């Protein structure tokens, strides 16, 4: 393994309440499920967990409520050996919560997320972690927290010359110029369509969407395409990197696993194709398990799949 890198994640912690059933209910219908799970989630926290398990040091900056659900955050970070120094609390609103339906036949999911305390994360709270940012290899953000927190993270990352990765999810209006100077912008097909105006159904569509996204100021675009893999473009080099054929059980945290794996790979200095393969493997393993944060794979698992599927040694 390469040197141990460090990634700062500014993002959400959300408690996932997940129900599993053989199919999704229709409007007004009740379907009997097989199980329900309550556990740690949120795009930011899932990605931070993936980073930690992939072998990097991670600093998570987030905000939770003062309710009973906040205990799940502390228990999770303690169990993972992750720092809780920048886990802020508020009495104003509850801890973020997501209601997730998982189709056990296909592994697909539907999610309603309530951001809760995540929306109250302030620029000042992010700025308190400036020394962590100054000493890291990369920063990673999503759009499940406050705009001001993400803007401040990027300001500090640029000040200290750090790699910036933005997963623009869930899609929503963003502050003008947010994508400018982002080193890696990583939407999925739906998010790419929202920001580019181009429906992404084929590799050719992904290429056209990437061109539009590059015009918004990002330096490199990686559009995740589910079972097809991921499409990369920097305007000159363009490639589709296929993913593995592992059977999915629960796809809920796949994008988060991909982004966490990508942040580690880029921080370790992998070339872009290998970095995407590493991220693909991270995501592929995660979907073979139920849950989000608990489903994130460990480094030895990623390296083993990287070797067996792509023929690459760690």
Domain at 50, CATH number: 3.40.1190.20
Q: How far apart are CA 162 and CA 133, in angstroms?
A: 8
Provide the b/e sequence for 113-138 (b: ≥16 CB within 10 Å): bebbbbbbbebebbeebeebbeebbb
Assigned domain for 190 exists: yes
DSSP annotation of 185 reads E
Residues 6+ apart with CB under 8 A from 233: 207, 210, 211, 214, 220, 221, 239
Establish if 267 belongs to a structural domain.
Answer: yes
**Known catalytic membership, residue 57:** no
N-to-C CA span, the chain: 6
φ/ψ of 289, rounded to 5, equals -130, 155
What per-residue confidence (pLDDT) applies to 144?
Answer: 96
Catalytic, out of 57, 205, 250, 256: 256
C-alpha 191/C-alpha 306 separation (Å) is 27
CA distance 104 to 164: 36
Is 266 inside a domain boundary?
Answer: yes
Is 112 among the domain residues? Answer: no
Cis peptide before 100 (omega within 30 of 0): no
Per-10-residue mean pLDDT for the chain, 314 residues long? 86 96 96 95 97 98 98 97 97 96 92 95 99 99 98 99 98 96 98 98 97 98 97 98 92 94 98 98 95 94 96 73
Quick one: pLDDT at residue 314? Answer: 59
Expressed as residue numbers, the domain containing 174 is 6-13+41-95+118-310
**pLDDT value at residue 77:** 97
How many structural domains is the chain composed of?
A: 1
- 8 Å CB contact between 167 and 140: yes
Report pLDDT for 2: 56
Tell me if 195 is assigned to some domain.
yes
| C-beta separation of 245 from 208 below 8 A | no
d(CA 96, CA 135): 29
In a domain, 47, yes or no: yes
- Residue 28: inside a domain, yes or no? no
Please report whether residue 89 resides in a domain: yes
């Amino acid at each position: 393994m390469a040197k141990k890198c460090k990634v700062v994640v500014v993002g959400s912690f959300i408690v996932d309440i997940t129900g599993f059933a053989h199919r999704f209910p229709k409007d007004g219908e009740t379907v009997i499920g097989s199980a329900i799970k309550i556990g740690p989630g949120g795009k930011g926290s899932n990605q931070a967990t993936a980073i930690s398990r992939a072998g990097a040091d991670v600093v998570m900056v987030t905000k939770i409520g003062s309710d009973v659900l906040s205990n799940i955050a502390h228990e999770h970070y303690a169990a993972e050996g992750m720092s809780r120094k920048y886990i802020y609390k508020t009495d104003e609103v509850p801890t973020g919560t997501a209601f997730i339906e998982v189709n056990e036949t296909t592994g697909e999911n539907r999610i309603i997320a309530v951001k809760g305390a995540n929306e109250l994360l302030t620029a000042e709270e992010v700025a308190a972690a400036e020394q962590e940012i100054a000493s890291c290899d990369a920063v990673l953000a999503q759009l499940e927290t406050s705009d001001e927190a993400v803007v401040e993270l990027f300001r500090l990352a640029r000040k200290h010359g750090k790699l910036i990765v933005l997963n623009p999810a869930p899609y929503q209006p963003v502050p003008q110029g947010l994508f400018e100077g982002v080193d890696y912008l990583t939407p999925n097909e739906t998010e790419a369509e929202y920001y580019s105006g181009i429906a992404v159904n084929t590799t050719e569509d992904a290429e056209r969407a990437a061109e539009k996204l590059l015009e918004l100021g990002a330096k490199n675009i990686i559009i995740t395409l589910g079972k097809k893999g991921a499409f990369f473009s920097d305007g000159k080099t363009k490639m589709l990197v296929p993913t593995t054929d592992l059977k999915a059980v629960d796809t809920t945290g796949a994008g988060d696993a991909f982004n966490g794996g990508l942040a580690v790979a880029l921080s370790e200095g992998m070339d872009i194709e290998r970095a995407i393969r590493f991220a693909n493997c991270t995501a592929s393993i995660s979907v073979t398990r139920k849950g989000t944060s608990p489903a994130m794979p460990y480094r030895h698992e990623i390296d083993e799949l990287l070797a067996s599927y792509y023929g690459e040694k760690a």
